[in-house]
A and B are shown apart, each in its own frame.
Chain A
C-alpha cells in the first residue's frame, strides 16, 4: 500500500516508479532549475527538465531601447561572465555599423575575456566537486581565486559582476594605473593554484569512480545536440570559435585546445582545468604585447544601422554565445535574439541522465555548467 501523497506509477514489471520534482528549490540545481525525475529505486528512468522560473523578458525588452542601452542587460545573462556577454553583443552590433576597433581595446577585450574564462572554469570545477559531495572545500578555494579577479574587474569597471564595460568600437574606459601589473601578478600566481587544485582532485579515487563514464556523450551525439564549448571538446570534437572564427585578435596568440576522448563528466571537468592553463598562456602574451593608444573608435552613441540581419558569436566560457540582430533602420533593434550556450547544452541532459543514479543526475547537470540567468533570459 503506497503511502498517501506519493504519485506512483508502475513500470512494466509492476514495480513502483517514484516521481520526484527536483527543484526549483534544491541545493544543487544551480539556481531555479527543476528536474522532474522518474526513479526506479535510485535509477533515473525518465527526466524532464523544466525551466523558465527566471524568465525576465530579456529579448523583448531589448526591442524598445537603443542598441547601446541593451549592453547592461547582457551582463545579467550569464551573471558569472559579464565581460564575454558584453563582447558577444558588441561584436554583433559592430558588424551592423562596421567600425574599426583600436588595437589597445582589442587587447583589453581579450584580457577581460580570458580572465572571465578563469573565473567561470574555476567556479564550475568547484561547484562540480561540491555536487560530488565534497562539502565546498574546493569550491571555497575557487571562490578565493575568483575574488582576486573580481577585484581586478572592480578597479577596471566599477562593478564586480555587472561590469557593463564594452562599447561598440572599443571599451568604456582605459586601464587604471598599475592595473596591468596587478593583473600580471595574479595571472602569474594562478598556475600554482591550478596545481594545488589538480593534486587535490585529478587523481582522487572517489572523483574518478564517481565521474568517469558517467553521462557519456559521444562525438556524434554532441554534434547532433549542437553542444558547444568545453562540453563539445570533452566529447572529442575540435571546435573552438577562438580558433575557427579568429574573432578579435585571437589569431595572434599561441594557444592550444584541449580535447577529451570519452565525453563523460571527468573529461568535461579535466578539459576545463586544461583550458584554464591555455587561458593563462593567452593572458601572459596579451599582457606582454598590449600597446598604448586610444581605446574607442569614434562612432556616435546612438546610431541607425541600415536594415540588415547579423549574427555575431564568440567562444564564451560555456560555449558559443551568439547574438542575432535584425536592424530595421531605427535606433532600436527590430529583433534581438540570444543563442545561450548553456541553454542549448542543457538539451542533452535527459539523454545523458537516463540509466544513471540520482546522484549522477546531479553531477551531470553540474558538468554541463548552466547559469539560469542565461537559460531562462
Chain B
C-alpha cells in the first residue's frame, strides 16, 4: 500500500480510477452491438439444435451404444476445468497473501461463474430425458458420483457468485453515489438495489472481510472437489484409460492450465478494449506467465505418470488404448495437445519475452484450444475400445464422429459462456475500484464519501 495522499490528491486520483474502470460500463458502440449480435445469434442457433435433439432423441448426435458419452461430456469437463481458476486466483493466492493477483480476482471469478454455470447447462443438454431432471432430487441416490457432482457444482457456483458479489458491494455503492452521468440510468438503478444500502463504514468493511475469509477457505475443498469428483465420473468405472487412481489430481492440475490460459485471454481483451494498460500491467502478465509455467510443470508431471507407467507395462486392454493414442487414430490429436498444451508453453514462457502481454495471450489461445481437445481424447478413445468386441452393429456404432447438431450445441455453450463474461464486464467494473484505490493510498473515508 502506498503512502497516504492528501484528500485533494486522493479525490483526483479516485476520479481517474473510477473513470478508467467504468469505461467498460459506459462504452457502447457499434462493436459492442455487433459482439452481442454474434454471441446471441450463435447461441440461439445452438438452442434450436437442442430443440431438434429433444424432439428426435439423442440419436441426432454421433453417440451410440459404445461411445455413449461424446463431445458434450468432453465439453462439460472442459468447462468445469476452466472454472477452477476462480478458486486458484481469488482464494488460494489470496490466502497465501500474494498481492499481485488481487487485480485479477474479479476476472477469475467472471470466468469461474461462466464456466461452472455452463457446465451445469451442458450436463442437462446431454441427458436423454431432460424432462426428468427433477428425478435427480426426487430419487437421488447418494452412492452415485453424479449426485456428488451435482452437489459440489451447485455449491461451487453459489460460493463463486458470493465471492464475486461481496467485494462488489463497495464498488456498487461508489457507482451509486459517484457514478458519472454517462452510465445509463437503468444500470444505476440496478446498482442502487444491489448495493444493499452499503455505507462504507468500518463495521461493514470488517464484516465483509470476515465473510470473504470464510468463503475463501470454504471454496478450497469445494473447488478441489468439483474437478476431483468430475474425474471420478470416469475413474469410478472399470474401463482402461479411465481406471486410474491419479485421475483426481491429474484433472485438477489440467484445470489450472486451462483456467490460467482463459484468464490471460480475458485480461488481454479488457486491457486492449477498455484501455486498461495501467491496470492489467505488463507486470501482471509476467506474473501470470510464471504461474502458467508452474501449473504446466505440475500437469506435465501428472501426464508422465498417466501415460508412462501403463505404457511401460502395456497390459492388454491398456496397450490397445495407448497405441491408439500414441500411434493410432488419435495420435495427431494426442501429440498436438501435448505439444501446444504443455511442451511449447513451458519452453517458451521460461523466457521473459514470451511473458509479455501479446505473446502470452497468443500462447494462451493455443493452450486453451489444446485443453479442449485434451478432454476430447480423455473421453472418446476409451469408449471406442471396450473389453468385448464391437460386433453386429452398424458402422457408425464403431467410431464416433460428432454431428452438426452436436457442434451447434457445443458452440452454444461457448457463446453463452462468453455472453455471461461480457454481460458481467458491461455491468460491473472488471477490477475492484475500492480495492485498487486503497492500494494507491486512498482512504476509505474518501472512497465512501458522497459526490460533491
Report whether chain A binds chain B. Answer: no
